[in-house]
Amino acid sequence: NAGVTQTPKFQVLKTGQSMTLQCAQDMNHNSMYWYRQDPGMGLRLIYYSASEGTTDKGEVPNGYNVSRLNKREFSLRLESAAPSQTSVYFCASSDLAGGVYEQYFGPGTRLTVT
């Protein structure tokens, strides 16, 4: 069981470039999430997917799009990167139906936008 995996681990982009962050989970969880972590601000929810086929905005969705490709995979896309999107991005998953109340996190993607 790999849990939640994320690729890439590190990325440097120039302003205006685009990229997609990949996330996959092998725990058969229904819900998946994308967070960003900035110093002194904890984790803030960008987008979430309660189940396959659905996605919804979180607290800080501007500048991002997501795709729930299937039950396992949930990707985050930056269409035109900005320096304000420099952050560490975490993917997580959980499952209400299985009585799993906590979220399980991936190792993160450290993104720098210059």
Q: Which residues bind other proteins (CB under 8 A)?
A: 4, 30-31, 40-45, 48, 50-51, 56, 90, 92, 94, 96, 101-108
**Nearer of residues 106 and 111 to other proteins, judged by Cβ:** 106
Q: Are 97 and 28 in contact (CB under 8 A)?
A: no
**Nearer of residues 35 and 64 to other proteins, judged by Cβ:** 35
**Nearer of residues 10 and 62 to other proteins, judged by Cβ:** 10
C-alpha–C-alpha distance, residues 39 and 44, integer Å: 11
Residue 96: CB minimum distance to other proteins, A: 6
Cα dist. 15→12, 22, 80 in Å? Answer: 10, 20, 7
